[in-house]
A and B are shown apart, each in its own frame.
Chain A
Amino acid sequence: MDDEIRTFADGRPAAPPYPAEARAKARDRLLREAREGRGFRFPKLGWQAAAAFGVTVALVGGVAVALSAQQPKLGVATSAAQSAATQSAAVLDGDLRPKPGQFIMVASDTMYSSFSQANGKMTRYLYRTHREIWQSADASADGLLLIAGLAPKPWPGEPLPKEAQKWKGESWMQLASCPARLAAFRTDHAYLSTLPPDPALMRSFLYKRQPGGKGEADRAAFVAAGDLVRETYMPKAQRDALFEAAKEIPGVQVADGVEDSAGRQGVALGRESQGILEQLIFDRDTHMLLGERHTVVDAKAAGAPVDSVLALTAQLKVSVVDRLPEHAPKVERDDSCTPQPGATTDSTEQPTALPTDEATDLLSDGPSDVPSDGPSDVPSDGSIYKPTDGPTDEPPAPVPTKTG
């Protein structure tokens, strides 16, 4: 090291310890994003949680459409949910036509694996949740996510770790809408509607959306397919194209009669990764996502016995609602779109506006030499959204309650 640099190295200021509380909060926020993430992770269904709201049901089979602008609460099936779930293959054929300003609500049940590491010790188990997610159909407003814990299951062949016992309760989270920043990672309806309704073009979109490294391209494309249909509503033409495109990804196996966690059968597109067959289960006719199933095929690679199931979900209801539910007592804020400069010791400090290009850049930098931009043939903002149902004059959707 050169002298001048050495001088700086030697003179480095002491760093304060990372306060345990702040650290835990940051880790928790990350885990939440991992578990519930916008577009990156999973669906769930929650009719038990629905009892917490008053219920105004407008259920058309598995697809509920609540179009009344007066309806202050979302329509959620309660007791009907189980039967809706079992007959959904027939009923998930609704063709929703959300208008700008409306929300897509998706309810699902999930089970996924949880890993954590504390003091050098790894624990793992299968955590389960009910999820209800509301996302602006045109990314024009922030969304909302409800997660209610369900009793976890042990990792196959292992006891349930102590930390898995803390599953009870529910939480509400604001989901900041940042279409510009998400670019090709957007999963709102308006954006999905712009994807090519053609299998070959859809295929190239899948490969470009989330470029994988060497030998990873096929896997990345398959992951992208899952991310686009999970907890989202994609129009039929795009669904069909996506199904056909995903089917042709090398390594993808087609299986019929695969059951989701609600017992519905569909046609599964599966791909093996790390000793696990990861299946996306679709309704055979409508190509709506029913759920996901991850089954161990290589015990050594997966760390669990062959045929054990490490993930199982069901996406039980997809609906259009006019506004976010009002019964959100405490909502976790999501500042991820607009990082605020932290408090400084100088109280006159003004928040620094973040240049748009820098924000976009954030998503792209790092050692990867993969081009950062989304596919160039895909619009990257919400402005292309064109209402198909004539002008709308609904009042703007309410912003979720902010706390803190």
Chain B
Amino acid sequence: MREDRHVVGVQEKPETLDDSALIAQSVIDPERFAVLFDRHADEIHRYAARRLGAEPAEDVTGEVFLVAFRVRARYDRTWPDARPWLYGIATKVVAQHRRAERRRIHAMSKVGAERPGSFDDRSADRVTAEQLQPRLARALTRLSAAERDLLLLVAWADLTYEDAALALGVPVGTVRSRLHRLRVKVRRALGGIDPFAEEPQHG
């Protein structure tokens, strides 16, 4: 009678549970959700930092897990890995910073032409490494917000098409067709400059 439950219930230690079982337990034992944070916070932070920069990423990461915690009862437990779900929430939270992101991308797209004025208090090397190449930044500016979300989930978060579909709440067919469209746009944008020219590296 308890056969099915044992699939998750017999493993009482959170570190042996998959994300889905952990989230299921966290509905009853909310604190278990902290284990999910332990597992994935660094990864979500990396993604947020790539998109928005170091400081906003800290707030975004915290917010992602708070939101996830609050909606955990609605997690689709047929998915053992919570990462696509977390990335989906991260995408929504990042979207709240859309204007900041646009400014950031815009600024990065002009490195070389003019130097952004906010390098003051950090290592210039590190900041340089955290910048997107100007030509890629320029290409990003040609994409819609939804296209950017999809592209970066696949390219920076390494989600499969299926995972990206899950994260964005769209059918995988939609992901494929959107990717096709955005590839064309990106190709055009990248082709607009000499692809072999090295971007000047300032720092």
Residues of A within 8 A of B (CB): 1-2, 4-9, 11-16, 18-19, 22-23, 25-27, 29-31, 33-35, 37, 40-41, 112-118, 120, 122, 185, 210-216, 219-220, 223, 273-276, 278, 298, 300-303, 336, 339-347, 349-350, 352, 354, 358, 361-370, 372
Contact = CB atoms under 8 A, between A and B. Distances in A.
B61 interface: yes
A367 B28 contact: no
B113 interface: no
A358 B97 CA distance: 12
Contacts of A212: 73
A274 B47 CA distance: 34
B130 A15 contact: yes
A105 B124 CA distance: 52
B71 A364 contact: yes
Contacts of B68: 366
Interface in B1-47: 2, 4-6, 8-10, 12-15, 24-35, 37-38, 41-42, 45-47
B77 interface: yes
B167 to A, nearest CB: 7
Contacts of B55: 342-344
Interface residues of B, number: 98
Interface string B71-102: 10111111100001100110011011111100
A11 B133 contact: yes
B146 interface: no
Contacts of B152: 8
B183 interface: yes
B49 A367 contact: no
Contacts of A336: 63, 66
3 interchain residue pairs of minimum CB distance: A303-B12, A342-B56, A26-B62
B71 to A, nearest CB: 6
> Which of A273, A276, A344, A349 counts the most chain B CB atoms within 10 A?
A344
Given A346-B103, A352-B98, A362-B93, A369 B76 contact: yes
Interface string B101-112: 001100100000
B33 A22 contact: no
A34 B68 CA distance: 11
B203 interface: no
A7 B190 contact: yes
B4 to A, nearest CB: 7
Contacts of B130: 13-16
Contacts of B133: 11
Contact of A352 (B58, B61, B97): B97
B88 A366 contact: yes
Contacts of B4: 215
28 contacts: A1-B155, A7-B136, A13-B50, A15-B130, A16-B126, A22-B58, A26-B65, A30-B34, A34-B30, A210-B73, A214-B78, A216-B24, A219-B27, A298-B9, A301-B9, A301-B10, A342-B55, A344-B52, A345-B53, A345-B118, A358-B95, A361-B92, A362-B67, A362-B89, A367-B79, A367-B166, A369-B76, A372-B74
